[in-house]
Amino acid sequence: MSSLSKASSGPVPVDSSGESGVSHRTATLVLACAGVFISYLPVVGVSTSIGVIQQALDASTAQLQWILDAFVLPTAALLLSFGVIGDRFGRKKVFLTGLLLTVAGCLIALTASGAVQVCVGQAVTGAGSAALLPSTLGLVAHVHPDRARRARAIAVWTAFLGLGLTLGPLVNGLILNHAAWRWIFLPSVILGAVVAVAGFFLLRDSRSEHIRHLDVPGQILAIIGITGVVYGVIEGGGTAGWGDAEVVVAFVLAGLALFGFVLAELRSSSPMLDLRLFRSSAFSGAALVMTITLFAQVGLVFALSEYFSLVHHASAWNIGVRLIAVNGLTVVLAPVVGRLMNRFTPSLVMLAGLVVSGVGALLVTLVEADTGTGETVLLIAVMGVGLALAVAPITTVAMNSLPRHLAPVAGSSNSALRQIGSALAPAVFGVVLTHRTLSSLAGHLSASGLSQADQGQVDGMVHGAGIQAGAFLRLSGEQSTEQALGAFAASFTDALHECAWIGGIGMLIAAMISLLTIGVKRTQESRRPTEATASTGAATPLSGRAG
């Protein structure tokens, strides 16, 4: 490696011995966990508050989906680029940038007077999340070169990711009980500012051992491709229809952009997503499993949030409490998962988790409109246990499937695919909820005992104002109102069942992919790059499985 390479890209040495090294590792892990907690705090928190936001802003169903996807889209599109920037210029700098973007985005949303400004704030916050995810994981991997310690650290990191998903709805529900909806963005502003100050003084910078350059063509094509797919799904499933010219153009542009992205990455000397990483069957399997799992998890959380809100008329706080059964167990079981990964193998724990979460998702089909809260929580808790077992091992397998110097790249790529799954989830599951509710509504109205006139009025209201309007139906008589609400609840529950089938089958397919591409046996560690490879930055042969 040339002197310039060493000067510009050599990692800051880690003192792994003595009290100083332990203190540094501890401080790095604490701040990294705080960063990923902040980055995930708005994800489900905003989702469970969407009913209140909808009423306050009089937003349409499509606008609500865009409020959610405005956060996830920039996260998915920019995550790999921020990973490259961190590898080259320093992960501490990207970490602090991510916190500042998060604070700025939340301030924009906090002062919003309409849905568009909320979307802008969400987009800026999403860019901050794109910077925080790879930088926090890279910082953790850098100070934990030992695989066993790294696995335990990643389990803790994943637990705080789950903590953000868990506390987001609870914090937002508490705020909504005492203040206007806009103040749900205040906690991220305060926490982001505090952690940024602490990180500035306590963190040591680190960067990749190899020089990496920004891949501008790949970045542009990725943004066009991902945005095109999500735009097409949201608008095609909404009032525009799948045959609308804008929807067709969006899908065509997305297809061309993604095809161009693959070509650009194959030809680039410093690709944003090095497709040669997928020569490792373990990495490829973990990447695909992560995408499917997060798609199913975020989609089902979105569907369950809407179910609790529109059918049970639960407050944001109560929705958050109920969803602890899905997201909160990741936090509670994190120490157990870390020990299981070291006692058995991450891939075996992941496989078990995927099967359990798939079965748990299918159990949601047993939920009816009048199912009690306790029974519902017990059913979705099965999925929560499975997710707790699966998510941390997926990240560990992805990072352990490659040589150590590629671990941050593996983490960034894995997180990017995680966000792509998360971005598609509200769009796809939102379309399923809308279409299935509307298609089954007429049958349930007919069986409800309502008059033909009332049936027509209810059907027209829900079709015209969106499915959210079904939760607030008011007819001339009290009995008629109850019958209309019951018909809507049954229709929406049918839609929830369809979402459960999609999520459950998806997770079981992910389990099969894991078994075929990764396996369950402990294998030798990935090959380390030769001295020549390390000095030239040439691709290391990647193949085989990771235990």
One domain, residues 343 and 371: yes
CATH of the domain at 47: 1.20.1250.20
**pLDDT at residue 498 in the model:** 95
Tell whether 72 is covered by a domain.
Answer: yes
Cα separations in angstroms, 266 against 262, 284, 286, 462: 6, 16, 21, 48
380 Cβ contact partners less than 8 Å away, ≥ 6 residues apart = 304, 322, 323, 325, 326, 360, 363, 364
Tell whether 150 is covered by a domain.
Answer: yes
Last residue of a domain, one of 271, 297, 318: 271
One domain, residues 286 and 248: no
d(CA 179, CA 279): 52
509 Cβ contact partners less than 8 Å away, ≥ 6 residues apart = 292
Name the percent of the chain lying above pLDDT 90.
Answer: 24
**pLDDT at residue 44 in the model:** 64
Owning domain of residue 313:
24-205+272-447+485-523
- pLDDT, tens digit, 9 for 90 and up, residues 202-212: 999 888 766 66
Output the six-digit token pair for 148. Answer: 């066993």
Output the six-digit token pair for 90. Answer: 């320093």
One domain, residues 315 and 353: yes
One domain, residues 252 and 284: no
Confidence of residue 107 (pLDDT cuts 50, 70, 90): very high
Burial class (CB in 10 A: 0-12, 13-18, 19+), 20: exposed
Residue 512 has pLDDT above 90, yes or no: yes
Confidence of residue 12 (pLDDT cuts 50, 70, 90): very low
- pLDDT, tens digit, 9 for 90 and up, residues 359-395: 999 999 999 988 988 899 999 999 999 998 888 788 7
- The Cβ-side half-sphere exposure at 25, using a 13 Å CA radius, reads 21
**pLDDT at residue 521 in the model:** 63
pTM: 0.74
**pLDDT at residue 453 in the model:** 82
Tell whether 159 is covered by a domain.
Answer: yes
One domain, residues 294 and 331: yes
Tell whether 54 is covered by a domain.
Answer: yes
**pLDDT at residue 61 in the model:** 65
CA angle 13, 17, 22 (to 5 degrees): 90
Q: Span 116-140, mean pLDDT? A: 90
Tell whether 458 is covered by a domain.
Answer: no
**pLDDT at residue 137 in the model:** 81
**pLDDT at residue 404 in the model:** 63
**pLDDT at residue 256 in the model:** 95
Place of tokens 């500042």: 100
d(CA 281, CA 285): 6
One domain, residues 130 and 35: yes
Confidence of residue 510 (pLDDT cuts 50, 70, 90): very high
d(CA 219, CA 399): 23
Average pLDDT, the chain: 80
d(CA 452, CA 460): 12
Tell whether 79 is covered by a domain.
Answer: yes
Other CB atoms closer than 10 Å to residue 105's CB: what's the count? Answer: 28
Radius of gyration of the chain (CA): 23
Cα separations in angstroms, 335 against 145, 158, 331, 377: 20, 11, 8, 23
One domain, residues 263 and 411: no
- pLDDT, tens digit, 9 for 90 and up, residues 494-504: 999 999 999 99
**pLDDT at residue 542 in the model:** 44
Residue 3 has pLDDT above 50, yes or no: no
Where would I find the H helices in 268-333?
A: 281-310, 316-322, 329-332
Q: Do 291 and 421 touch, CB atoms closer than 8 A?
A: yes
One domain, residues 222 and 201: no
Dihedral over Cα of 80, 84, 87, 90: its sign: negative
One domain, residues 84 and 175: yes
Tell whether 368 is covered by a domain.
Answer: yes
Tell whether 480 is covered by a domain.
Answer: no
One domain, residues 179 and 129: yes
Split into its structural domains, the chain has a count of: 2
Q: Do 106 and 134 touch, CB atoms closer than 8 A?
A: no
Of 421, 433, 343, 393, nearest in space to 546 by CA: 393
Q: Span 400-424, mean pLDDT? A: 68
One domain, residues 85 and 196: yes
- pLDDT, tens digit, 9 for 90 and up, residues 243-259: 888 889 989 999 999 89
Q: Span 478-492, mean pLDDT? A: 86
Of 443, 431, 347, 439, nearest in space to 394 by CA: 347
One domain, residues 142 and 177: yes
Output the six-digit token pair for 38. Answer: 């902040």
**pLDDT at residue 253 in the model:** 94
Confidence of residue 533 (pLDDT cuts 50, 70, 90): very low
